[in-house]
Structure 1
Amino acid sequence: MKIAIGSDDKGFELKTELKGLIESLGHEVLDETPENDLNFVESAKRVAEAIRDNKADRGIVIDEYGVGSFMVANKYKGIICANVCNEHSAQMTRRHNKSTIVTIGSGIVGKTLAKKICKVFINQKYDGGRHQIRVDMLNKMC
């Protein structure tokens, strides 16, 4: 699986940690923000466009709180993004919402928890079934 990842200046250090983890799990990493001085709008935009354009299967964006990147990514047609701060929310947004991007706040979530969130999000499958009705509703909104 190919994972697009990006960060603003506040999330750059955590992004570097997560890249190593993702590669160690056997996935390809598409670093959309090799620069360490971007703002969250630009970094989330790059990851959302990579998912939208089918350059990657899933995306992870890190900024200080996760909320700004979350708002940017959800502006894109076909993107369902969730701001997560624990493993359960990462699991459920993938299972029930078919989220293709998660955002993480580096000022809220430490490295150990962020790694757990990444593993869960990458490995979790979408449940489909009754949840597809809501996914279709979300996708019609854009």
Structure 2
Amino acid sequence: MRIVISSDKKGLELKNRIVEYLRDQSFEVEDLTPQGDVDFYEASIKVVNEVLKDVKANKGIIIDEFGAGPFMVADKFKYIICAELNDEHSAKMTRDHNNANVITMGSGVIGEDVACRIANRFCVAQYSGGRHQIRVDMLNKMC
């Protein structure tokens, strides 16, 4: 699995910590954060466009101050299932039940340790399919 990640200026420090953590856990991580004073919209578009190149192999993480803005941007795209996360259990369940391929987090909402655990849980969790596929198909028909 390839993890693509980006942030705006307010999420930069947390994003850097998550990148370091995931690489230490042997994940393939590509940092797409644009240079300069970028806003969450541009950071989100970069991640979404990469994930859409191969939705089965790519997963995305977007960081800003609160997580809500990138969540709203990402969920506008067909075949992107995004979750705004603040806890580890939701990170697992959004992959397990919803086959989420992008998550967002807010640097002003959660600390580094929790954010790293959320990212790890999202990256290791598997989609269970089965009865959940009906919902995933409905989500993918939207937009």
Q: Could you say which TM-score interval applies, normalised by the shorter chain? A: over 0.9
2:119 counterpart of 1:139: no
Following superposition of structure 1 onto structure 2, how do residues 1-142 of structure 1 map, counting pairs within 5 Å?
1-35=1-35, 37-54=37-54, 57-142=58-143
Number of residue pairs matched? 142
Match of 1:59, SS?
A: strand
Instruction: Give structure 1 stretches of 5+ with no counterpart.
Output: none
Instruction: Report the TM-score, using the length of structure 2 for normalisation.
Output: 0.95
Distance 2:75 2:36 in 1: 23
1:36 deviates by 5.0
1:25 deviates by 1.1
**8 Å contact from structure 2 (residues 67, 105) kept in 1:** yes
Alpha-carbon RMSD across the aligned residues, in angstroms, is 1.2
Moved over 4 A (4+): none
Distance 2:22 2:2 in 1: 9
**8 Å contact from structure 2 (residues 34, 43) kept in 1:** no
Distance 1:102 1:35 in 2: 22
Q: Deviations over 1:96-138 (max 9, x none)?
A: 0000010001000100100110110000000100000000000
Distance 2:27 2:36 in 1: 23
Q: Deviations over 1:39-66 (max 9, x none)?
A: 0000011001100012861110000000
Instruction: Give structure 2 stretches of 5+ with no counterpart.
Output: none
**8 Å contact from structure 2 (residues 45, 74) kept in 1:** yes
Percent identical among aligned pairs is 49
Instruction: Report the TM-score, using the length of structure 1 for normalisation.
Output: 0.96
Most deviating of 105-114 and 55-64: 55-64
Match of 1:135, SS?
A: helix
**8 Å contact from structure 1 (residues 12, 36) kept in 2:** no
